[in-house]
Amino acid sequence: MHPEPVDLSAWRTRALDFERQLNDVLVGMPRTVRLMTVAVFARGHVLLEGDVGVGKTTLLKAVARGIGGAYQRIEGTVDLMPGDLVYHTYVGDDGRPRVEPGPLIAQGSELSVFFFNEINRARPQVHALLLRLMAERTVSAFNREYRLPWMQVFADRNRVEREETFELPSAARDRFLMEISVETPDARDQLRGLMFDTRFHDADALIEKVTPATLDHTRLNDVATAIQDTVQSSEVLDNYGVDLWLATRRPAQYGVRLSDVDIEEFIQSGASPRGVAMLVRAARVHAWLEGRDRLVPEDLHDVFFEAIAHRLCLSPVYENQRPLYARPFVAEVLRQIASP
């Protein structure tokens, strides 16, 4: 805990400045940037989804630069083992074998953004290590325990190729605060800018425009705690949140219908208690960014899909078509569940 008290108003200004800088880097992605900002201040790990070349790495590098602290990246491969994250070995100039810290512990506790690219290419052993890392923010190596208090894991899933991939277990998916989709903008002038504006061609130069350590990463945990303590809910909204949760578990009972879907068979298991707790955590950050100290339904709505959809276990017959059904299902839940 940092000794200085948290000035949430000043921090909100910094958060909005951080958001603005990210929007300068990533054209046409205000919602993605807002969700990333929410994740940063909710201190949650994030699954990223998107095609290649849409700007995921640029986004993460910009976030890491804005947050401050160290940034590390590792590529998921089928032969990646948990040890590869913790150390690596090589033969030194003197011909003697050397063991050096791996990407997870190389910067010690300064690590603030850890990007795991194509996480579903890694084996379940690696997923297991990641589970502990995300839950406890600690890792054991060289006969000691390394604490990574400010680390956030950002992981990307390859959804195109299926060969030699290992789908994340539901327990691992549940550790992620959100799954954020990084999409190419639709607006024609933005697409033209991405094509012909040369400043977007050099990603590194673009990232350097982000003021380093706009947010002090060592204070983020305190700020997150303060936000959660400050933003209040109400009984009506609590009930609304519970209804939303139950509707993901028993959609038929709540009148949720999808065309061409047997809704009774659609859901194998709905959102977990941890999931809805994370939903409210993210919603509180959203309310704070909007300048409110009270939660309103729209705060839940704005993060609902990203915080809940990846936690839903669909029946096998629908699981293979998750992209087709998940968003309409969540939208229908929000349509059907009423709140004043």
Partner 1 sequence: MNDAHRFAPLARGLSRGFARRLAHALFALLAACIFPSPGIAAQGDGVRLHDIAWPRSFGYRIGDTLPIQITLEIDDGWIPDRDGLPEVGQGDRQFELRRLDVADASHRCAQCRTYTLEWQLMKSVRAPQTLQLAPTTLRFRKDNQVQAIAVPAFAINAAPLLNWQARTDWINSVHPGYRAQDFDVSAPLLRTAGWTLTAVTLLLAGLWAGGRLGGQGARPFARAWREVRALRLAHGRQGDGDALALAFRALHRGCNETVGRTVFAVGLPDFLRDAPEFDDLADDLAAAFAASRSVFYGLPPSARFARFDDLYTLLGALRDRERLHARHTPTAANAPAPTTAAGH
Contacting residues toward partner 1, per CB under 8 A: 232, 234, 236-237, 292, 294-298, 301, 334-340
Structure tokens at 260: 């061409």
3-state secondary structure of 24: helix
Residue 60 vs 333, nearer CB to partner 1: 333
**Minimum CB distance to partner 1, residue 79 (Å):** 49
Helix (H) or strand (E) holding 32: helix 30-42
Residue 30 vs 149, nearer CB to partner 1: 30
**Minimum CB distance to partner 1, residue 232 (Å):** 7
**Minimum CB distance to partner 1, residue 258 (Å):** 14
Residue 313 vs 331, nearer CB to partner 1: 331
CA 333 to chain centroid, in Å, comes to 22
Report the distance separating Cα 128 and Cα 311, nearest Å.
Answer: 18
* Residue 125: closest CA among 80, 171, 174, 173: 80
**Minimum CB distance to partner 1, residue 6 (Å):** 22
Residue 150 vs 240, nearer CB to partner 1: 240
**Minimum CB distance to partner 1, residue 333 (Å):** 10
Contact present, 135 and 175 (Cβ < 8 Å): yes
**Minimum CB distance to partner 1, residue 233 (Å):** 8
Helix (H) or strand (E) holding 257: none
Residue 209 vs 294, nearer CB to partner 1: 294
Count of H-run helices and E-run strands, the chain: 15, 11
Residue 103 vs 251, nearer CB to partner 1: 251
**Minimum CB distance to partner 1, residue 253 (Å):** 17
Contact present, 206 and 200 (Cβ < 8 Å): yes
> Positive or negative CA dihedral for 172, 177, 179, 183?
negative
Return the axis-axis angle of helices 8-25 and 273-289, rounded to nearest 10°: 90
**Minimum CB distance to partner 1, residue 339 (Å):** 7
Alpha helices in 208-250 (DSSP H): 220-230, 235-249
Residue 71 vs 288, nearer CB to partner 1: 288
Residue-level length of the chain: 340
Structure tokens at 102: 């791996």
Residue 131 vs 296, nearer CB to partner 1: 296
Report the distance separating Cα 63 and Cα 210, nearest Å.
Answer: 9
